[in-house]
């Protein structure tokens, strides 16, 4: 009885905290899931319905990848496929000799016998032409063997004797030229080798693409864990000569507004993120300098009107007006603030301890970059 009443060993300590689980050889257990959101990344800030973050992340990867390929290849979204010129049309075909004509034999006139005679003459002439063509083909086949027979060594004895008699004449006439049968054989061999090389090259390209997709370090877009409900972040690796997140999102919204084609089920808003830093006033002003120099240059003849959009999630320790004033003061003098009709909008999104900053155009005209609202039918 004493042995039965012994307590089973558990992983919970006296203080109520769980002990760490360890693998053999003192290796800690790795947590599954995406990497957390961190400073120094760029990508896309996406909002979705609560509890649908996983589905929204999968949809966002597909949608962003498709618009990225359109920008790289220079294609327009919603382009209708061209009609093939050789496509058969639905036309009614009427035959000259049909079964219906047999019922109208009584209605025909006296000229029926003449038409039948003409038809018999045409048929006889056609049969004579076919017989003549067959005879000419058989004569040609006897005189000149086919390329397949020449390639496989199937040559008649008469042709071999003729070749022996005229060998000296052919050598004297042209020693450099090869017989046509040999040329045809060489052409077929070269075409077969070329097709085999093409197939091998295609297989290599497919294997390389599969390896690139399997390797996480070579992916251009991948999901990061934001840590907030209803928020998805898709990171984009920084590469030279590649469209920026702002260009991809701008192309996405303009095409959605023009076509109104349904693209996703779970995505609400998509905003570009070009700067990510810690959510403090000093870090934000320091990280925004290259972004301000790019979109708001000091020496310009066309000053732009701008506005600041601020929103915070899971962080109540930061003063809203301090952040807005610091961002507005970092923009140089020729550019002015206009909250009613801005040309550019500086987006500041704070998620826990990370601040995400981006610049967008036509924010109010494009339904505040709400993809669901842009693709909904007009009422």
Instruction: Dump pLDDT digits (tens) for 93-129.
Output: 555 554 554 455 444 444 444 445 555 545 555 555 5
Contacts of 350 (CB under 8 A, 6+ apart): 279, 310, 311, 312, 313, 315, 318, 323, 356
Q: Are 264 and 63 in contact (CB under 8 A)?
A: yes
Q: What does pLDDT average to over the chain?
A: 74
pLDDT on residue 154: 43
Cα–Cα distance, 132 to 135 (Å, whole number): 5
What angle (nearest 5°) sits at the alpha carbon of residue 307, between those of residues 293 and 71? 65
Q: Which of 136-150, 254-268, 270-284 has the lowest mean pLDDT?
A: 136-150
DSSP state of 74: T
pLDDT on residue 142: 44
pLDDT on residue 44: 97
Domain-by-domain residue ranges, the chain? 27-74+215-375
Cα–Cα distance, 369 to 347 (Å, whole number): 11
Provide the 3-class DSSP secondary structure of residue 347: strand
Highest-pLDDT range among 37-41, 84-88, 135-139, 190-194: 37-41
In 3D space, the residue among 331, 231, 239, 289 whose CA is nearest the CA of residue 42 turns out to be 239
- List strand residue ranges (DSSP E) for the chain, in order: 22-23, 27-28, 43-48, 221-224, 231-236, 267-273, 275-278, 305-313, 336-337, 344-351, 354-361
Cα–Cα distance, 245 to 231 (Å, whole number): 17
**Which is it for the CA torsion 285, 291, 294, 296, positive or negative?**
negative
DSSP state of 260: -
Cα–Cα distance, 99 to 278 (Å, whole number): 87
Bigger pLDDT: 39 vs 4: 39
pLDDT at 164 over 50: no
Structure tokens at 146: 């086919």
Mean pLDDT of 261-266: 90
pTM of the model: 0.59
pLDDT digits (tens, 9 = 90+) for 36-47: 999 999 999 999
- H/E run at residue 171: helix 167-173
Domain covering 27-74+215-375, topology? VC0802-like (3.30.2130)
- Cα dihedral value 208, 209, 210, 212, nearest 10: 90
pLDDT digits (tens, 9 = 90+) for 267-297: 999 999 999 999 999 999 999 999 999 999 9
At 187, is the pLDDT very low, low, confident or very high (cuts 50, 70, 90)? low
Q: Which of 56-60, 158-162, 260-264, 308-312 has the lowest mean pLDDT?
A: 158-162
Structure tokens at 232: 């998805």
pLDDT on residue 42: 95
Bigger pLDDT: 352 vs 103: 352
Mean pLDDT of 342-367: 95
Bigger pLDDT: 217 vs 88: 217
> Is 303 buried (19+), middle (13-18) or exposed (0-12) by CB count in 10 A?
middle
pLDDT on residue 333: 87
Cα–Cα distance, 71 to 76 (Å, whole number): 8
Bigger pLDDT: 75 vs 79: 75
**Which is it for the CA torsion 200, 203, 208, 209, positive or negative?**
positive
pLDDT at 11 over 60: no
Cα–Cα distance, 12 to 27 (Å, whole number): 20
pLDDT at 355 over 60: yes
pLDDT on residue 138: 47
Bigger pLDDT: 149 vs 328: 328
pLDDT on residue 200: 72
What's the N-to-C CA distance of the chain in angstroms? 77
pLDDT at 133 over 80: no
Contacts of 174 (CB under 8 A, 6+ apart): none
Q: Which of 30-39, 213-222, 232-241 has the lowest mean pLDDT?
A: 213-222
In 3D space, the residue among 350, 266, 277, 214 whose CA is nearest the CA of residue 222 turns out to be 214
pLDDT at 325 over 90: yes
> What are the CA-CA distances from residue 281 to residues 271, 319, 322, 337 (Å)?
22, 9, 7, 20
In 3D space, the residue among 330, 323, 272, 271 whose CA is nearest the CA of residue 298 turns out to be 330
Neighbours of 15 (CB within 10 A): 5
pLDDT on residue 257: 92
């Amino acid at each position: 009885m004493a042995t039965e009443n012994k307590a089973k060993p558990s992983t919970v300590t006296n203080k109520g905290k769980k002990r760490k689980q360890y693998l053999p050889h003192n290796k800690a257990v790795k947590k599954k899931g995406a990497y957390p959101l961190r400073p120094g990344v760029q990508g896309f800030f996406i909002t979705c319905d609560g509890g649908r973050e996983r589905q929204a992340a999968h949809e966002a990867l597909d949608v962003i990848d498709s618009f990225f390929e359109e920008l790289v290849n220079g294609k327009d979204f919603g382009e209708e496929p061209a009609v093939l010129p050789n496509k058969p049309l639905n036309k009614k075909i009427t035959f000259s000799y049909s079964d219906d004509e047999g019922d109208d034999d009584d209605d025909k006139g006296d000229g029926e016998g003449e038409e039948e005679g003409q038809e018999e003459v045409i048929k006889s002439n056609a049969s004579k032409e076919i017989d003549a063509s067959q005879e000419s083909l058989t004569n040609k086949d006897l005189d000149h063997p086919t390329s397949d027979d020449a390639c496989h060594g199937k040559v008649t004895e008469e042709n071999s004797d003729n070749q022996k008699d005229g060998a000296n004449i052919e050598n004297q006439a042209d020693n450099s030229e090869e017989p046509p049968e040999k040329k045809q054989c060489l052409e077929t061999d070269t075409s077969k080798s070329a097709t085999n090389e093409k197939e091998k090259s295609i297989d290599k390209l497919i294997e390389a693409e599969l390896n690139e997709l399997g390797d996480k370090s070579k992916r251009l877009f991948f999901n990061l864990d934001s840590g907030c409900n209803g928020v998805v972040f898709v990171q984009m690796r920084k590469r030279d000569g590649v469209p920026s997140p702002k260009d991809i999102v701008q192309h996405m919204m303009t095409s959605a507004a023009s076509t109104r084609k349904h693209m996703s089920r779970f995505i609400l808003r998509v905003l570009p993120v070009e700067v990510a830093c810690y959510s403090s006033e000093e870090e934000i002003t320091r990280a925004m300098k290259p972004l301000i120099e790019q979109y708001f240059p000091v020496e310009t003849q066309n000053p732009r009107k701008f506005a600041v959009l601020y929103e915070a999630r899971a962080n109540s320790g930061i003063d809203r007006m301090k952040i807005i004033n610091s961002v507005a003061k970092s923009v140089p003098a020729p550019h002015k603030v206009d909250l009613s009709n801005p040309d550019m909008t500086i987006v500041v999104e704070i998620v826990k301890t990370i601040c995400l900053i981006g610049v967008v155009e036509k924010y109010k005209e494009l339904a505040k970059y709400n993809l669901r609202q842009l693709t909904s039918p007009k009422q």
